[in-house]
């Protein structure tokens, strides 16, 4: 399981920061991972949830931070902002206008539907401690995740592309 491999690589030999935030791995792709900080999930007066989805890309050493509003009852979401940051220099590219589709339905069986279930039901969701990451902040988490993703990719390439 890629998620468990990432969590193990992130935790190897790294002490928890003195002032740590807790992040949770929602998904692992090929060279990327989607991570949230559950403590930052907030509710709007109309019951929607606001959260930053942090998509870390180990191949280009970046983090794409999308602030989304989720209508849990309506099973839809809206991207409020989306900014891509380079992890080496923190230069940013605002991608909000490129991906602003307004409210978008979340189809059953999709990864987004899994994210919705976790976010909308937090903190009353079962969690896997192996998928929790302690880091000083989103930058520390992103750098560590990018390094671990790069290491996973290298290991997979050495094995002939196997997962």
Q: What pLDDT does 147 receive? A: 85
- pLDDT tens digits along 12-47: 445 555 667 899 988 888 889 999 999 999 999 999
Q: How many residues does the chain have?
A: 163
What value does the mean pLDDT take over residues 138-155?
A: 87
Query: Facing residues of 100 across strands?
Result: none
Tell the burial category of 47 from Cβ atoms under 10 Å away from its Cβ (0-12, 13-18, 19+): exposed
Q: How far apart are the first and last CA of the chain?
A: 8
| SS3 category, 112 | helix
Q: What is the pLDDT of residue 9?
A: 56
pLDDT of residue 59: 87
Is the pLDDT reported for residue 161 higher than 60?
Answer: no
Domain residues of the chain, as ranges?
2-154
In the predicted model, is pLDDT for residue 65 greater than 80? yes
pLDDT of residue 79: 92
Task: Please tell me the pTM assigned to this model.
Answer: 0.84
pLDDT value for 82: 93
Query: What pLDDT, on the 0 to 100 scale, is given for residue 76?
Result: 96
Q: By percentage, how much of the chain surpasses pLDDT 90?
A: 45
Of 42, 56, 25, nearest to 129 by C-alpha is 25
Pairing verdict, β 92-94 and 76-86 = antiparallel
């Amino acid at each position: 399981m890629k998620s468990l491999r990432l969590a193990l690589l992130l935790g190897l030999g790294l002490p928890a920061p003195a002032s740590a935030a807790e992040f949770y791995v929602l998904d692992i792709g090929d060279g990327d991972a989607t991570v949230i900080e559950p403590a930052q999930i907030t509710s709007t007066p109309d019951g929607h949830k606001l959260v930053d989805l942090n998509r870390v890309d180990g191949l280009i050493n970046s983090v794409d931070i999308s602030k989304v509003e989720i209508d849990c009852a309506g099973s839809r979401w809206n991207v409020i902002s989306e900014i891509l940051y380079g992890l080496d220099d923190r230069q940013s590219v605002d991608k909000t206008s490129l991906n602003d589709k307004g409210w978008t339905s979340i189809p059953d069986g999709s990864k987004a539907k899994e994210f919705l279930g976790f976010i909308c039901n937090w903190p009353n969701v079962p969690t896997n401690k192996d998928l929790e990451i302690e880091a000083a902040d989103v930058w520390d988490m992103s750098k560590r995740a990018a390094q671990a993703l790069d290491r996973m990719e290298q290991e997979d390439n050495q094995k002939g592309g196997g997962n």
